[in-house]
Amino acid sequence: MNKNLLTLVTFLLLCLTTSKVFAESDVRDTTVIPPFATTNYNDSFYTSVLSAATGIGQPFLLQQGYLTMPGVTVIDTSLVYNGIKYPVSQAYNTSRTTNNDGFYISPSQYAYYGITNFKSVWKVESPNIFFDGTNNTFKTRVDCIGYGARVIASVGGQTSSTNAFLLLSNGILNAGICKFAAIGRVPDSYEMATSFATLGTTSIAGWEYISGNVLSTDIQTYNLTLNSALNNYTGIRKGGFSKSQPGDIFCFGDGPKSSASGHTMIMAHNPILLNATSLRYYFPKVTTTSINTLLSKNNVYQVDIFDDCNYRHFNDSRTLNGVGYGSVLIVADTADDAPIGYFFSPSSNLTYTPLSTSKTYAICVARYTNPSPLPVSYESFSAEVISTLIQLKWRTTQEKHTIWFTLQHSTDSKSFEDMGTIMAIGNNQNNYLFTDNHPASGLNYYRLMGTDNNGNKSYSSVININFSLSNDQLSVFPNPAINSIAIKGSHISNIWLLDDNGRIAIEKIFQDATNPSLNLNNLPRGKYYLSIRTKDKKTNTIAVIKE
């Protein structure tokens, strides 16, 4: 079964977390499932921080090769999908620069970028990570905290009681114990890290302090230089760094002696506890004695992260600045497993950056869990062309008092009309099926609207599929098939046969083919999806069974 289509990203969790893990086994999640998301990129809300981090980062991770998607090719710094070129533009900008140097998109630009849903979240201006539909460009002009703030603001809903960023910023501002950016402006990494440490003493709905370490006395002094009206700082040390999880927000907070405010990241996998052999992978020229000395006093973790950076981390996906994937190493105290320092990027020695007044005042991890879950959570939502119809399938993981689902259709991705309603089964983990008997020629856009018994509504992500009745109604024979299939149709330029997990099993490129065939002898039995593109750039997808 296809997983995580809602976020278009399938991520594998590392299952080996003991000291026997080798750093060479660094896991990179590569295959994501079409369709390629553009139409709802600027307005998408996600159910978790991890899905937001990967959804917002997807075009940049595809361009870097960290992710791959059937039908998407990379040409230099552009993506090509369904014959359309999507330039990927990244520039590392910091919110500290004069006039923010393009870091923010101002409210006057919202309409230009097609932003509607985020107006209630970013009342002043929004970090510049958006899809520009006028020239099909994915653009970033932010730093790490710009990416982190854009991710957090994309989780939950549009109100102060449902949005992760609004809950955090309102809670910190109301507590008055840390300097924190006003609503609609990003905080810096120092403000984020030192705020997280106060979650052990200050309750904010949905937010939890997982692990961290702070120089509380020095932070108190520094905070009062930033804002003399602040209350006493209440951030505390907390061990248990190994309990961090994918989707946790991870920050370094740098003090006044540093040239930067720190660094903000989103964890991609569970931390990996390294042993002497795996640590040598990172420091091949360091002596065994030095490695053993470090490990005798500390725990050292490989932490895989998504962030926006102008440096390359260990195992980094980037060749240019911007959003990407990498690893940092965290040094933790063996007594309580609290972080005490970090290796930020490759170096030739074992000198890590410690928690100290010379630079880093705080190292903290926090987690957001939606305190008011939406009426329904969607695990997957997909569309498939079957002859002259489009079949829609979806699976739910939660149906909190859900009464019914409404299927909505659009041909322009903006104006949606109701197609029909299906009553909810109730409880959790249910599968549904709906058929569009009259799809439009060309791109068809679909979304789901779940309604609960209080009238609350929640929406799925928008999916799209190309439908064409031209070319004599492309068809496949035989189906089911044993050895081969013949494709009836002309002017065929590309064929992809995908397995049920979205991986390419066969790929063929033609100049101008008529009735081509595919040999299936080397494929295992099962269900496949045959995607056929013609020279007019129209694509049909047909389900094929190999017996």
Residues 361-388 pLDDT 10s: 999 999 999 876 666 777 788 898 887 7
Residues 394 and 414 in one domain: yes
Residues 454 and 476 occupy one common structural domain: no
Residue 167 CB burial class (10 angstroms; 0-12, 13-18, ≥19): buried
Query: Which pLDDT value is given to residue 536?
Result: 64
Q: Which of 95-104, 160-169, 251-260, 390-399 has the lowest mean pLDDT?
A: 95-104
- Pairing between β-strand 475-477 and β-strand 442-452 as defined by DSSP bridges: unpaired
Is residue 461 domain-shared with residue 474, that is, in the same domain? no
pLDDT at 63: 95
Same structural domain for residues 435 and 326? no
Buried b (16+ CB within 10 A) or exposed e, 431-467: ebebebeebeeebbbbbbbbbbeeeeebbbbbbbbbb
On whether both 528 and 453 belong to a single domain, the answer is no
* 8 within some domain: no
Considering the chain, what percentage of its residues have pLDDT values greater than 70? 90
Task: Report phi then psi at 402, rounded to 5.
Answer: -70, 135
Same-domain status, 355 and 387: no
Strand partners, 402: 452
Question: Per-residue pLDDT tens for 409-447?
Answer: 988 777 788 998 899 888 777 889 999 888 877 788 898
* Residue at 424 is within a domain: yes
Residues 112 and 191 in one domain: yes
Q: For residue 12, is pLDDT > 50?
A: no
Contact status, residue 494 vs residue 530, Cβ threshold 8 Å: no
Query: Starting at the edge strand that comes first in sequence, how are the strands of the sheet with 539-546 ordered?
Result: 504-513, 492-499, 526-534, 539-546
* 195 and 319 both lie in a single domain: yes
Residues 339/331, Cβ–Cβ less than 8 Å: yes
What letter would DSSP give residue 236?
Answer: -
Average pLDDT over residues 316-345: 96
List C-alpha distances in Å: 155 to 148, 165, 180, 366, 455: 11, 8, 19, 15, 21
User: What's phi and psi for 63, nearest 5 deg?
Assistant: -65, -35
**Contact yes or no for 241/301 (Cβ under 8 A):** yes
User: 114 and 42 in contact (C-beta within 8 Å)?
Assistant: yes
Residue 28's pLDDT is 54
pLDDT at 10 over 50: no
Q: Which pLDDT belongs to residue 302?
A: 96
Q: Is the distance from CB of 255 to CB of 360 less than 8 angstroms?
A: yes
pLDDT (0 to 100) of residue 97:
62
Give the least confident one: 11-25, 99-113, 187-201, 458-472.
Answer: 11-25
Q: Do both 166 and 220 map to the same domain?
A: yes
In terms of domains, do 52 and 72 share one?
yes
Phi and psi based region of residue 124 (left: phi greater than 0; alpha: psi -120 to 50; beta: remaining)? alpha
**How far from the centroid of its chain's Cα atoms is residue 538's Cα?**
29
Average pLDDT over residues 99-115: 84
Tell me if 308 is assigned to some domain.
Answer: yes
Q: Which of 345, 368, 391 is the last residue of a domain?
A: 368
3-state secondary structure 343-376: ECCCCCCCCCEEECCCCEEEEEEEEECCCCCCCE
Q: Which pLDDT belongs to residue 11?
A: 29
pLDDT value, residue 476: 85
Residue 6 has pLDDT above 50, yes or no: no
Side-chain-side CA neighbours of 514 within 13 Å: the count stands at 2
With beta carbons less than 8 A apart as the criterion, state whether 267 and 18 touch: no
Would residue 363 count as lying in a domain? yes
Give the pLDDT confidence score for residue 30 in this predicted structure: 63
Tokens of 391: 């079949």
d(CA 483, CA 523): 9
Q: Is residue 156 part of a domain?
A: yes
Q: What DSSP character marks residue 333? A: E
Return the CATH number at 487. 2.60.40.3080
Task: Please state the domain count of the chain.
Answer: 3
Domain span including residue 445: 376-467
Residue partners of 435: CB distance under 8 A and separation at least 6: 389, 390, 391, 392
Average pLDDT over residues 176-204: 92
What is the Cα–Cα distance from 8 to 502, expressed in whole angstroms?
A: 11
Last residue of a domain, one of 409, 440, 467: 467
* Same-domain pairing of 380 and 342: no
Q: At what angle do helices 144-153 and 164-175 cross, to 10 degrees?
A: 110
Amino acid (one-letter) located at 240: G
Residue pair 488/517 in contact (Cβ under 8 Å)? The answer is no
Is residue 384 assigned to a domain?
yes
Domain endpoint, select from 368, 397, 419 = 368
The 3 state secondary structure assigned to 84-150 is: EEEEEEECCCCCCCHHHHHCEECHHHCCCCCCCHHHHCCCCCEECEEEECCCCEEEECCCHHHHHHH
Closest by CA position to 140, among listed 321, 10, 271: 321
Q: Which of 347, 361, 340 is nearest to 311 (CA)?
A: 347
In sign, the C-alpha dihedral spanning 316, 19, 301, 245 is positive
User: Which pLDDT belongs to residue 15?
Assistant: 30
Residue 400 forms part of a structural domain: yes
130 vs 11, more confident: 130
| Average pLDDT over every residue of 527-534 | 82
Residues whose CB falls within 8 Å of the CB of residue 455, separated by 6 or more in sequence, listed in order: none
Question: Is residue 499 in a domain?
Answer: yes
Tokens of 345: 């990027």
Same domain membership, residue 356 and residue 429:
no
Look up the CATH number of the domain holding residue 389.
2.60.40.10
